[in-house]
Amino acid sequence: MFCHEIGKTASIKGTLDNIKYNIFCLKEPDYVCKLMAMYGGLCSPNREQKGTARTCDDGSVVKFNYEEP
């Protein structure tokens, strides 16, 4: 598989019976998690607010980017 470092992501685009699909891959320590979907991408949407942050119960802050559905 093309995901070598833990936490890295990748996607494969294809067409099956004239329907476009994506296979999203996430490298875990012992395996590669794969999810097939007929929508979306690994890119943030083209809009002004690209991400957000959340404060957890323990006070830590988690930041993440919005994904395009």
3 within some domain: no
pTM above 0.85, yes or no: no
Is 13 inside a domain boundary?
yes
Find the domain containing 16 and state its range.
9-65
Q: Does 4 fall in a domain? A: no
Does the structure show a pLDDT above 60 at 3?
no
- Percent of the chain's residues with pLDDT above 70: 70
Q: Tokens 């093309």: give the residue.
A: 2
Looking at the structure of the chain, the number of domains it has is: 1
Q: What is the pLDDT of residue 58?
A: 87
**What stretch of H or E contains 19?**
strand 19-27
Per-residue pLDDT, averaged over 49-68, amounts to: 75
For 30-37, what is the mean pLDDT?
84
Residue 46 dihedral angles phi and psi, to the nearest 5°: -85, 80
Closest C-alpha to 21, from 5, 44, 38: 38
Residue 1 lies in a domain: no
Rounded CA-CA distance 2/12 in Å is 10
What is the pLDDT at residue 49?
62
